[in-house]
Structure 1
Amino acid sequence: MSVKPKLTRFQQNVVSKYQIYNSIFMTLPFDAITKTGVLLPLFHETCEKGFKNGDNPTTIVETFFEKYQGRRNEQSQINLLFRFIQYIERQVVLFDAVEDAAFPVVNNMDGVGTLRNLKGSATSEGKMKELQEFLEEFKVRIVLTAHPTQFYPGSVLGIITNLKHAIEDNNLSEINNLFGQLGKTPFFKHKKPTPYDEAKSLIWYLENVFYKTFGEIYNYIQTNIYADGKKHNEIINIGFWPGGDRDGNPFVKPETTLKVAKKLKKAILKRYYEDLKDLRKKLTFRGVEERVIRLETILYNYSIDLKYKKRITAKELRLELLSIRNVIVNEHQSLYVNELNNLINRVHLFGFRFASLDIRQDSRIHHSVFTTVADYLIGKGNSSFPDNYHDLSESDQIKILSKVTDTLDDLEVFEDEMVGNTLKTIGVIKKIQSMNGERGANRYIISNNQTALNVMQLFAMLKMVAFQDNLTVDIAPLFETIPDLENAPQVMEQLYQNPEYMAHLRARGSKQNIMLGFSDGTKDGGYLMANWGIYKAKELLTEMSRKYDITAIFFDGRGGPPARGGGRTHNFYSSLGPTIEDKEVQLTIQGQTVSSNFGTLDSSQYNLEQLISSGIKNRIDGERNKLSDEDRVVMNDLAETSYQVYKDFKSHPMFIPYLERMSTLKYYAKTNIGSRPSKRGSSNKLVFSDLRAIPFVGSWSQLKQNVPGFYGVGTALKMYEDRGEFDKVEQLYNNSKFFKTLLENSMMSLTKSFFDLTKYMADDPEFGEFWTIIYNEYLETKRLLLKVSGYDELMENEPAGKASIGVRESIVLPLLTIQQYALKKVQELNKAEVKDEEQIKIFEKIVTRSLFGNINASRNSA
């Protein structure tokens, strides 16, 4: 049977189905405003024609009202715009559900990058032993973060799931009911979620998706690649940030962290109980049934009450299940042994923790907290800190910190809330380890890490508060900005040369966790430099760590879109080459990237398998992926040039005013999608360094000018063209999978850009010149990316992905138009001599409400 091309499968199973269901959807009345469903296609057509004619959003909206709604008063027109927003938001949900339902048909679940494909290749090439050896030491960890780029409330996520199933079954009456439910379910959150709310919404994915897919993948490897039923390396595990990530979030308290850890434990116990309940119906044999019932009863009670008297440990549960398995194998012809194995494997994968909670805080906060602690200990006397501690050199301070013997027993002596909470959190880590197992919380990330002293201050605090005898926590410095990335190897060498810190690493398996940030890297250094800076840092950190016989475990803050290090992530991991440590792939996943890449059982399994095979592919292709000296020079040159161009752009006097007044930046805080404040400092004035990466990247995305994903690339490539050396860039593109992946992800950013939307800004007396600078860079980048790739159009190598973006962008075109129209109105009303505050409020509400659908449609734009 011949398989149709991916694009054809996408058109038939996604686009055609969406059009059919959308036509039903458009006939449903959701509210008092009649004919919204009839008018929206007319508005859509007006937008398309208007932009083709070079009209601006204001003209397009006004033309539509004149032509079709001449008799409506102004209030009625505004109401209609709100109804359009509501309809479009729900159209995006419909498209999500249709695309999710078609996932296994559009994507070949046995194709390249899947485990079945991997096993087939290894078998045919006689490399099964090598594959087994690799999988015994390789790990993939995806870390769910609470970063607010998911605009769907939990209730809507539930509808998407049900809608997906109804679409798979072509169940029209159920689809109609769900459309009705969708129409009446609010998308807007009236108050910000708490960090605990964020944790609960992500635990939904653990319970409903990852519990199943992790188990399926591990079972497949155990039975098909090893075929021995024994316990092997877990290969995949999951990290968790909500409730533990304090960086810039004053609402994450020590109690929050403990509450989230308890919730995680209860959630996994509940899943084990449900599996045992199913097994009990099957394992009705002598000498087995009563043991299964006993376990079921214990786990049921334990999942409700963590202080339950007859509770058992994860190890005891596993041993009892193994013992039951022996009885089934020896006395009952191995009946249902596979189902029992599935549960044993899940206990091996998740323990009683479900996910590993990471703690994260900024080095500047630590420094301030530590200074208070040191002052207190010096003042108390009889301390390992000398009176002149603060005057000592950094290396002398590190020596003292590495040998610290003081203990902080009473934390109530610290009146400052930040000091108390930071120190109490360390105590909470110890408590979680005794409750959920060591891996319940055993990593502490220091964001904005700049020096070895930053690491040693935390090292000392951990020991003084709770880990005097045995430090069972990995300290992970996070290097974010370009200078910090360049400085990272020296920082690590300083730590490796410290005997006490080295002894700690040896006790932790001679591994050092190092996190490298993309979001702030791109914000700081632009697209090419952020990616190249991280690549070079990884090479130097690998070399430095190997010199001291330490394995570097790299953890990438990749996020979602290319501008935040995302895009086709597995391509990056398969292109790193032999000079970068590759024993583990660890990356952050957030917002819509959770729901789009891991939101269903099919997409989760497919994308996890792609990540596993990317590590294996890098190991196989290692030498081929190694950059030649000549290619390195070109890559470095391109990155340096684009970095300079991006820095000049950032320091343009209009850069901050443009974001502040022409984009949706300041509206992010009003969306109530995340518990964190949308910027760092408390200053009323917008300061670049205070800008959080998500609102920063997201604002460019809403403008449809995805600057962080391409700016500087075109100019850097043009420099080679002008010098008549473009063949060197082409050679790099053909030789380096890393560079090729970089440029292909940049193409995705360009594909999601639409400058016709904001072309009116070119005539703005204040911002016209600045808009033109961005537009020209976009044109140059597009032209030269096509030239270097040999493509006729962007994303030519990914027609189905391009088609998906095309449909999504088309759905939200009216929404973007309304948003720009409202932004323009706000600007005009603010300039008026007499400000109409009521009107300003209404149009600002339109801007805020329109953010949701645009972000959700992009699935990974922020």
Structure 2
Amino acid sequence: MLHEEKKEKFRQLVENKFQIYNSLFMSLPYDKMSNIGMLLPFLYEESRLGYEAGKSPEEIVDEFFNKHTELKTEEQKTELLFKIIQYIERQVVLYDSIEDAAFPQLHSESDAGTVLQLHERALQEHQLEATRKKLKDFAIKVVFTAHPTQFYPNSVQRILHDLRTAILNDSVTEIDMLLQQLGKTPFVNKEKPTPLDEAMSIIFYLRYVYYDTIGELYKKIKNTFGTQNFTPAPDLIQMGFWPGGDRDGNPFVTAEITQQVAHELHISILKSYYAHLKKLRRRLSFRGVSEVLEHLSDDLYDAIFKQEKVISTEDILNKIKEAQTILTEQHNGLFKNLLEDFSDRVKIFGTHFATLDIRQDSRVHQEVIDEIVAKKSGMNSETITIEEKLNWLLKTDLILDPNDFEGITKDTLQNVYNVKSMQQKNGERGLNRYIISNSESIKDVLNVFALFRLCGYREEEINMDIVPLFETMEGLDRAQNVMKELYEMPVYKKHLAHRKDIQTIMLGFSDGTKDGGYLKANWEIYETKEQLTKVSDDHHIKVVFFDGRGGPPARGGGKTHDFYASQGKTIANHQIELTVQGQTITSVFGNKDQAKYNFEQLLTAGIENDVFKNAKKDLTENERNLIEELAELSYKKYSDLKAHPRFVPYLQEMSTLEYYGKTNIGSRPTKRGAGNELKFEDLRAIPFVGSWSQLKQNVPGFFGFGHALQELKNQSRFEEVKNLYKGSDFFKTLVLNSMMSMNKSYFPLTSYMKKNEKFGEFWTILSDEYNLSKQLMLELTGFKELMEEEPLSRMSVKIRERIVLPLLSIQQYALIKIQKEEGNRAAYEKLVMRSLFGNINASRNSA
């Protein structure tokens, strides 16, 4: 479809439908909300025209009250603002549902990056065998995290699910009923969700979206590329799971919670098999076959409801095999394909559904180890060196009892003890990685290895990959030397041999960007991957990279297919692994059509990278030097901003940062470390990036980029950068992702801040860099507007920004009242928090 055709189709399927169904809102019997639909357009117009005229949010909201309402008291006014927020929240859900429903008609099976398109290309370029060969040495893994970047409670998510179906069927009556339900369903959790609640929320997607999606996609790949001699591996598409296992900065994730979540994952996949089998048995009603399947059904039922009954993947597969034999020998293999599909699902999901990861911060492990050494080693904890500590840990035969300790040490040891029983129930595929965030030295990895030994595991029983997560600039700089040292240590070398000489290494884009700025973080990670690929190859280790990429570009997100397709041959490409969370789960993997399409995009990106030649993937020496120069210039500019005395105070006083922790959306605190003083390094990446996003400033997604481009322009070298943009897919992807961040920025919203005595100068620094970056990126790309090459995303962003503009005005209005210490502070704080929800949910297409 050409750009114009696609735009027209989007207009019909999304924009027009939204106008039609949005009009239903106006007549809904909402409590005290009957006239909101009429008032909202006025607030939108006041906002749009007001910001163009340089007015402040306070002036805009006051004018709205004066011109369009009779309200006099502060209480009446804030009540109306709350109702408007509730109304807009529901508009966002409606828009999400309409856009989701249009997805299959806006994307086709033969789009770039789909399995069919990959097959077509492989056929034309005589690369079918090479593609099959790559499929043998490749997998994608999407790891679902509980990071709170999306605010729909489960009840609302289910309405969204049903609303999408009703819109697909154009059922006005049902849509009307669901909108009424939406009007009366609370959008706010009364209390913070527990880690178990977060896990159950994502398990809902596993059962009702991914069980079928991944099963059907595997079948499609098998039918497209399979031959008599080649069947794609069932672990080609994998899922990972962090809720309940990720204790980094989350005191509510305990050893008991991890066990509970492992149990829920186990039970959920058995329930999916049980439901699938029920459908199968309606077709496979033949003598012999039906009896075997009935036994299997009984076994699954007992394993779900009678806890003492344990069923393994092998048990299920053996029963299916038995049924397949009878079917082939006695019933002409009728419906054989249905049984084969079921068998494939069991091979894909095992008895674990998704692999539960354990994650903890290296500094917490160090505290635990220090306590153990002080209590049990007999050495003087005041004078002992790190080397002596490690030496004792790796040589001692001591086996600890968790009950000899308290608090975090007891819980950490208990969790390590529990690994064995969780692996017995869910299979080793169900839990096999221990991730260490903030890794900066070999002790961070060896501490975890030592914890297993201290819990009585013999070396050959440690069936766990120990995964360092390098995320700060310092950590990334040290990564190569850390891994080299580990690969050469006899004790770790032996452990890797036991793990088939495969080492997974995680790299954190979110904290990297927070620490080093957008361009520097992305380039640093690219270079680190190259160095780690080389050092791993030199030691005959197969390295797998796991990317901590978030939704928006400021957290490493953006166009995922383009990002992975642009990695050159200097970076190991055995597996694509990345984290997804919050609004990225609902917007990119939220229903079967989208999930299937986006899993395909990931899969084909990695395969294309190896199979098809493309000079734009591999950087020349000159291109590397130029990116390096731009990254350093941008890093210097971003570092100066971070060092500005107003940086943290600006976020604290002028943004929504302080309110993230007060919303009941995630179980995890918004900052690491205790104490009241807010330090930059303790800021978690999500509230950090989210606060810039709420201000519509998106600083981590562009800041420093424009400055770097200007410096080269001043040296009359802009032509070099243009050639780099044309010649390097990697650099082009960085530019386009940064443009996406800028397209969702809107500085007129906060231009009132330039008059602020304390922060005026700081705001101007941000605004100037935005204008410079935008101007130079348009010049670099030859675009007339940001995101020119992506008309659908651009249109979607435009509509969403229109929906939430009144919400942004309300939020800023409330922040101004709080700063001025005017009126009812509690009511204004509540307004700020409530407007967080709709703003974040409306930004879902940031990935």
Cα offsets for 1:123-145 (capped at 9, x unmatched): 23332211111111101001001
1:484 is matched with which residue: 451, 472, 475? 475
2:543 is aligned with 1:552: yes
Identity of aligned residues (%): 48
Which secondary structure does the structure 2 equivalent of 1:670 belong to? coil
* Residue 455 to residue 377, structure 1, CA distance change in 2 (3 Å): same
Deviation of the 1:242 alpha carbon = 0.4
Which secondary structure does the structure 1 equivalent of 2:357 belong to? strand
In structure 2, C-alpha distance between the alignment counterparts of 1:88 and 1:446, rounded to whole Å: 40
Deviation of the 1:58 alpha carbon = 0.8
Which secondary structure does the structure 2 equivalent of 1:579 belong to? coil
What does 1:312-331 align with in structure 2 at a 5 Å threshold?
312-331=311-330
Cα offsets for 1:734-755 (capped at 9, x unmatched): 1110110001000000000001
Deviation of the 1:790 alpha carbon = 1.1
Cα offsets for 1:259-302 (capped at 9, x unmatched): 00000000000000001111111101111111111111211221
In structure 1, C-alpha distance between the alignment counterparts of 2:740 and 2:43, rounded to whole Å: 27
Cα offsets for 1:431-473 (capped at 9, x unmatched): 1001111121110000001100111111111122142242100
In structure 1, C-alpha distance between the alignment counterparts of 2:788 and 2:71, rounded to whole Å: 46
CA contact (8 A) 1:442 1:474 kept: yes
Q: Which residue of 2 aligns with 1:653?
A: 645
What does 1:502-541 align with in structure 2 at a 5 Å threshold?
502-541=493-532
1:857 is matched with which residue: 838, 842, 845? 842
Q: Which residue of 2 aligns with 1:377?
A: 376
Which secondary structure does the structure 2 equivalent of 1:556 belong to? strand
Q: Which residue of 2 aligns with 1:608?
A: 599
Cα offsets for 1:538-584 (capped at 9, x unmatched): 00000000000001110000011100000111211111100000100
Q: TM-score, normalised by structure 2?
A: 0.97
In structure 2, C-alpha distance between the alignment counterparts of 1:759 and 1:400, rounded to whole Å: 60
2:421 is matched with which residue: 431, 434, 459? 431
What does 1:569-648 align with in structure 2 at a 5 Å threshold?
569-621=560-612, 624=615, 625-648=617-640
Q: Which residue of 2 aligns with 1:80?
A: 80
Q: Which residue of 2 aligns with 1:284?
A: 285
Q: Which residue of 2 aligns with 1:383?
A: none
* Residue 33 to residue 279, structure 1, CA distance change in 2 (3 Å): closer
CA contact (8 A) 1:426 1:466 kept: no
CA contact (8 A) 1:6 1:107 kept: no
In structure 2, C-alpha distance between the alignment counterparts of 1:861 and 1:33, rounded to whole Å: 31
In structure 1, C-alpha distance between the alignment counterparts of 2:3 and 2:483, rounded to whole Å: 51
Deviation of the 1:109 alpha carbon = 2.9
Cα offsets for 1:239-270 (capped at 9, x unmatched): 10000001000000100000000000000000
In structure 1, C-alpha distance between the alignment counterparts of 2:561 and 2:418, rounded to whole Å: 35
Q: Which residue of 1 aligns with 2:455?
A: 465
CA contact (8 A) 2:374 2:381 kept: no
CA contact (8 A) 2:312 2:425 kept: no
Which secondary structure does the structure 1 equivalent of 2:187 belong to? coil
2:226 is aligned with 1:223: no
What is the identity, as a one-letter code, of the residue corresponding to 2:284? L
What is the identity, as a one-letter code, of the residue corresponding to 1:601? K
Q: Which residue of 1 aligns with 2:688?
A: 696
In structure 1, C-alpha distance between the alignment counterparts of 2:383 and 2:211, rounded to whole Å: 52
CA contact (8 A) 1:222 1:232 kept: no
Cα offsets for 1:167-213 (capped at 9, x unmatched): 00000100000000000000011110000000000101110111111
Which secondary structure does the structure 1 equivalent of 2:359 belong to? strand
Name structure 2 gaps, 5 residues minimum. none
CA contact (8 A) 1:402 1:501 kept: no
Which secondary structure does the structure 2 equivalent of 1:32 belong to? coil
Deviates more, 1:464-473 or 1:146-155: 464-473
In structure 2, C-alpha distance between the alignment counterparts of 1:526 and 1:798, rounded to whole Å: 25
In structure 2, C-alpha distance between the alignment counterparts of 1:417 and 1:622, rounded to whole Å: 55
CA contact (8 A) 2:369 2:447 kept: yes
What does 1:369-448 align with in structure 2 at a 5 Å threshold?
369-379=368-378, 387=379, 394=386, 397-408=389-400, 410-414=401-405, 416-448=406-438
CA contact (8 A) 1:389 1:397 kept: no
In structure 2, C-alpha distance between the alignment counterparts of 1:542 and 1:48, rounded to whole Å: 51
Name structure 1 gaps, 5 residues minimum. 380-386, 831-835
What is the identity, as a one-letter code, of the residue corresponding to 1:332? H
CA contact (8 A) 2:352 2:430 kept: yes
Deviation of the 1:70 alpha carbon = 3.0
Deviation of the 1:817 alpha carbon = 0.4
In structure 1, C-alpha distance between the alignment counterparts of 2:106 and 2:796, rounded to whole Å: 11
Q: Which residue of 2 aligns with 1:778?
A: 770
2:160 is aligned with 1:160: yes
CA contact (8 A) 1:85 1:850 kept: yes
Note the aligned Cα RMSD (angstroms).
1.6
Which secondary structure does the structure 1 equivalent of 2:417 belong to? helix
What is the identity, as a one-letter code, of the residue corresponding to 1:372? E
Deviation of the 1:304 alpha carbon = 2.1
* Residue 283 to residue 798, structure 1, CA distance change in 2 (3 Å): same
2:322 is aligned with 1:337: no
Deviation of the 1:333 alpha carbon = 2.2
In structure 2, C-alpha distance between the alignment counterparts of 1:630 and 1:273, rounded to whole Å: 59
Deviation of the 1:33 alpha carbon = 4.0
CA contact (8 A) 1:577 1:623 kept: no
CA contact (8 A) 1:136 1:233 kept: no
Deviation of the 1:324 alpha carbon = 1.1
What is the identity, as a one-letter code, of the residue corresponding to 2:411? N
In structure 1, C-alpha distance between the alignment counterparts of 2:614 and 2:112, rounded to whole Å: 21
Q: TM-score, normalised by structure 1?
A: 0.96
2:807 is aligned with 1:815: yes
In structure 1, C-alpha distance between the alignment counterparts of 2:226 and 2:384, rounded to whole Å: 56
Deviates more, 1:796-805 or 1:75-84: 75-84
CA contact (8 A) 2:234 2:347 kept: no
* Residue 227 to residue 17, structure 1, CA distance change in 2 (3 Å): farther
Deviation of the 1:388 alpha carbon = 6.5
Deviation of the 1:510 alpha carbon = 0.8
Which secondary structure does the structure 1 equivalent of 2:572 belong to? coil
* Residue 300 to residue 370, structure 1, CA distance change in 2 (3 Å): same
2:10 is aligned with 1:10: yes
CA contact (8 A) 2:793 2:845 kept: no
Deviation of the 1:394 alpha carbon = 4.7
Q: Which residue of 2 aligns with 1:235?
A: 236
Q: Which residue of 1 aligns with 2:488?
A: 497
Deviation of the 1:782 alpha carbon = 0.3
Cα offsets for 1:333-366 (capped at 9, x unmatched): 2221121111111100110011111000111110
What is the identity, as a one-letter code, of the residue corresponding to 2:329? N
What is the identity, as a one-letter code, of the residue corresponding to 1:53? A
Which secondary structure does the structure 1 equivalent of 2:296 belong to? helix
Deviation of the 1:720 alpha carbon = 0.4
CA contact (8 A) 2:324 2:336 kept: yes
CA contact (8 A) 1:143 1:239 kept: yes
Q: Which residue of 2 aligns with 1:106?
A: 106
In structure 2, C-alpha distance between the alignment counterparts of 1:623 and 1:460, rounded to whole Å: 45
Q: Which residue of 2 aligns with 1:833?
A: none
2:674 is aligned with 1:674: no
What is the identity, as a one-letter code, of the residue corresponding to 1:483? E
In structure 2, C-alpha distance between the alignment counterparts of 1:230 and 1:762, rounded to whole Å: 63
CA contact (8 A) 2:547 2:579 kept: yes
Aligned residues: 844
CA contact (8 A) 1:97 1:160 kept: yes
What does 1:16-27 align with in structure 2 at a 5 Å threshold?
16-27=16-27
In structure 1, C-alpha distance between the alignment counterparts of 2:333 and 2:492, rounded to whole Å: 50
In structure 2, C-alpha distance between the alignment counterparts of 1:43 and 1:494, rounded to whole Å: 62
In structure 1, C-alpha distance between the alignment counterparts of 2:343 and 2:671, rounded to whole Å: 45
What is the identity, as a one-letter code, of the residue corresponding to 2:338? E
Q: Which residue of 1 aligns with 2:827?
A: 842
In structure 1, C-alpha distance between the alignment counterparts of 2:26 and 2:523, rounded to whole Å: 47
